[in-house]
Amino acid sequence: MYPSTKMAVLNDLVEVLNRQGIYKLLILNGHGGNNFKTLLRELGAKYLKMWLATCSWFKILDPSTYFEIPDDHSDEMETSLMMYLRPALVRTLS
């Protein structure tokens, strides 16, 4: 998704939450290629009542403790998670 598309989607979401009186949004990021900080910073300036934050589940622990080659995009950790959650979606080499 292009950053401008992510911004449009987030803006729509934040606008609706703000209008409904829901002033908190936490984005739980699950993919190393995503970055929401700058988008949320810009939206926070537009929606002053909103508390906007993001966190990435894969940064909670040091991945080198569990994985040999840590990276941030389609790496051993993401593949392992998908093999656990949706193994039919992961192609393996035979």
Residue 60 has pLDDT above 90, yes or no: no
Structure tokens given for 55 = 């966190």
Separation CA 36–CA 53 (nearest Å): 9
- Predicted confidence (pLDDT) per residue in 11-31, tens digit: 999 999 999 999 999 999 887
Whole-number Å distance between alpha carbons of 55 and 94: 36
In 3-state terms, what secondary structure has residue 1?
coil
Residue with the bigger pLDDT between 85 and 60: it is 85
**Which pLDDT score is estimated for 72?**
65
Q: What is the mean pLDDT of residues 65-79?
A: 79
Band (63; pLDDT cuts 50, 70, 90) = confident
More confident residue, 77 or 33: 77
Kindly tell me the sign of the dihedral angle through the C-alpha atoms of 68, 69, 72, 75. Answer: negative
